[in-house]
Structure 1
Amino acid sequence: MADDDDPTKQPGAGQTRRRGAALEEAILRAAADELTESGYAGLTMDRVARRAGTNKNAIYRRWPNRLALGIAAYRRLATTVHPPDTGDLRGDVLELLRRANRHWSSPLGKVLRDLMSAAGGASEFVAQLPEQSTDAVAATWLTILGRAVARGEAPPEALHPRVATVAMVLLRNEFVVRGVPTAPDEVLIEIVDEVYLPLIRQRATTPG
């Protein structure tokens, strides 16, 4: 199969040589389709190359391995998460956890869990996953916590990234560490009522 990105190769009859952004788009689209249909376990360079109508060399020049390609393809499928605003800290935290739980329990969430497992905690890979990098997660949670501080529901001392993200870390552990397919709603409520809110309130009397 001709390498679209190689200017020394001529396209066959009825074919148009794709280069640069056009070829990259075709590869990413093919990889995203493979993730949707077969998950990360079924993603191979050979299958993506066949689907994109190119060869593996064109893929490896852009993504050095299957994990890098899988993360790039996942980014096309993921949607932007906007912090909820229920007017109440408990409501916001529960809503954010429920959204995350639905996503992590979905087929796309399974892809995400497999990618994170393959990354092995390597920060350079995890940081490329939408809403999974430390900074992205902290920004979302600090937003809802900041609103709670403004409403007088939480002390300013609670505005610390590690404090703000405790609930999400605990939920993520249910999937990544314990390997559950989904977290029951009572687990989410327990995380909020028994851990998160007491920790936030305690910060009023605990030096930051």
Structure 2
Amino acid sequence: MTQRRHGAALEKALLDAAWEELTDSGYARFTMDAVVKRAGTSPPVLYRRWSDRDELIRATIVHILKKTRPDLPDTGSLREDVLTLMREIGTSHVQQVTVMYAHLASYHRETGRSPSDLFDPVATGRKEELDTIFDRAADRGEIKPEHLTERIKTLPFVLLRHEILSTFAPVPDHVIEEIVDTIFLPLVRCP
């Protein structure tokens, strides 16, 4: 006999099924019915939570990004914290990044939104984590907070994502160090 799922367990099962459907079928063939079938549930169960495919895709991306978010490093230096985080993303998250962008290429055509809109740093908790890294660096006197715009905070990770999507391979350590040492740190370090 199958145990009925409720609450958070049911929502997790639905979002995991949606992610599996997205990675197997891609955005263009992603349907609510396919997710219902994959999750072994009924349409009303799914539609009570998400009224359409776009809402479900958004919730799925947030779910996966939260679920696979790397641990927040605390090495005692901004350079090492950023390098540690980028090394984790640049090795163990390459497939996830590639799959998300490859399967969401038609998202923009259909919705008029950029796939980047799906990766809301506030919703996924990434903004809070980056702020923690930068707050600690400011407290240690490594950086001046007034140098930090949201674009500068995310710059090394945007460049890392570009590298992943350009090569579809793990990012070599020398590339990660170049991004951090020659592009990012000169923008934020105290003189």
TM-score for the superposition, normalised by structure 1: 0.64
Query: What residue is the counterpart of 2:114 in the other structure?
Result: 121
Pick the aligned partner of 1:180 from 156, 168, 179.
168
Kept in 2: contact 1:137–1:165 (CA 8 A): no
Q: Is 1:47 matched up with 2:37?
A: no
Aligned partner of residue 182 in structure 1, secondary structure: coil
Query: What residue is the counterpart of 1:161 in the other structure?
Result: 150
Q: CA-atom RMSD, angstroms? A: 3.7
Instruction: Give the counterpart letter for 1:39 in structure 2.
Output: T
Percentage of pairs with the same residue: 33
Gaps of 5+ in 2: none
Q: Paired residues, what number?
A: 181
Q: Is 1:69 matched up with 2:56?
A: yes
User: For the structure 1 residues 71 and 150, does the alpha-carbon distance in structure 2 shift closer, same or farther, using more than 3 Å as the test?
Assistant: same
TM-score for the superposition, normalised by structure 2: 0.69
Query: What residue is the counterpart of 1:105 in the other structure?
Result: 94
Aligned partner of residue 6 in structure 2, secondary structure: helix
Pick the aligned partner of 1:151 from 140, 148, 153.
140
Structure-1 separation of matches of 2:91 and 2:58:
20
Gaps of 5+ in 1: 1-13
Structure-2 separation of matches of 1:24 and 1:74:
16
How far off is 1:58 after superposition? Answer: 4.5
User: For the structure 1 residues 24 and 60, does the alpha-carbon distance in structure 2 shift closer, same or farther, using more than 3 Å as the test?
Assistant: farther
Structure-2 separation of matches of 1:38 and 1:149:
40
